[in-house]
């Protein structure tokens, strides 16, 4: 295999799933490229990716704030009303002496998801205004370290499991936060799973090259 120089390697991509080397080809707007070996999606092309992602990130952050302020689940048990919010769940773990679990939960369901959305908003804003060459790089690196540790989606499924377990104890009311968290999780899964970081790196390169030409 012959290469003009190291940067020509940007025309190649290694599949995440099966580690096969694939060559990148320009594809139609709205379509996606799949691995030649296992059929896993390698990259997608969407000309409005940055604007869409920015809008979704802002929407996601709003839903995240709503999800943390209002009660998640409310319960009538033996005549008294009990409710939980996401922060309350974490603090109750810390209060009962489970510092390690509490801290872990705080990071996995609160700090990391919040970080991802704040980073995304800054990142996509910078890419829209075509500024901040160094900062976008740092943000992308940070994002790739944080993303595998964000577990808002798993927390949401846990709530469903907990509700089923609690049916025997008393009347359950689903709070505003539950719906807000559901919307947040849908956006979170879309952003972290369908927008690949390598696509953003390629977009960043394209924007930088355009800037150099002008």
Residues in contact with another protein by CB under 8 A are 1-14, 16-21, 23, 37-38, 73, 75, 77-78, 80, 82-84, 88-90, 92-93, 96, 98, 100-101, 104-105, 108-109, 137, 140-141, 144-145, 148-149, 151, 154-155, 157-159, 161-162, 164-166, 168-169, 196-198, 201, 209, 212
**Nearer residue to another protein within complex by CB, 55 or 138:** 138
CA–CA separation, 2 vs 5, rounded Å?
9
Integer angstrom CA distances of residue 95 from 60, 98, 101, 199? 29, 7, 11, 43
Q: Could you tell me which of 181, 138, 137 has the C-alpha nearest to residue 163?
A: 181
**Nearer residue to another protein within complex by CB, 55 or 99:** 99
Bridge partners (DSSP) listed for residue 85: none
**Nearer residue to another protein within complex by CB, 34 or 196:** 196
36 CB-near residues (< 8 Å, 6+ apart): 20, 22
Shortest distance (Å) from residue 208 CB to another protein: 10
How many C-beta neighbours within 10 Å does residue 105 have? 19
**Nearer residue to another protein within complex by CB, 61 or 106:** 106
Shortest distance (Å) from residue 213 CB to another protein: 9
């Amino acid at each position: 295999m012959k290469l003009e120089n190291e940067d020509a390697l940007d025309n190649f991509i290694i599949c995440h799933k099966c580690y096969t080397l694939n060559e990148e080809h320009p594809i139609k707007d709205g379509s996606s490229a799949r691995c030649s070996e296992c059929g896993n999606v390698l990259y997608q092309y969407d000309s409005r990716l940055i604007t869409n992602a920015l809008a979704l990130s802002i929407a996601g952050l709003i839903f995240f704030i709503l999800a943390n302020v209002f009660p998640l689940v409310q319960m009538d048990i033996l005549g008294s009303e009990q409710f939980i919010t996401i922060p309350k769940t974490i603090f109750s773990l810390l209060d009962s002496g489970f510092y390690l679990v509490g801290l872990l939960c705080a990071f996995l369901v609160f700090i990391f998801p919040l970080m991802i959305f704040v980073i995304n908003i800054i990142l996509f804003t910078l890419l829209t205004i075509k500024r901040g060459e160094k900062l976008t790089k740092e943000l992308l690196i940070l994002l790739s370290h944080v993303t595998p540790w964000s577990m808002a989606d798993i927390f949401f499924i846990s709530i469903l499991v907990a509700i089923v377990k609690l049916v025997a104890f008393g009347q359950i009311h689903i709070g505003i936060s539950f719906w807000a968290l559901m919307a947040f999780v849908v956006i979170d899964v879309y952003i972290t799973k369908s927008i690949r970081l390598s696509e953003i790196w390629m977009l960043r390169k394209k924007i930088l090259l355009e800037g150099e030409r002008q």
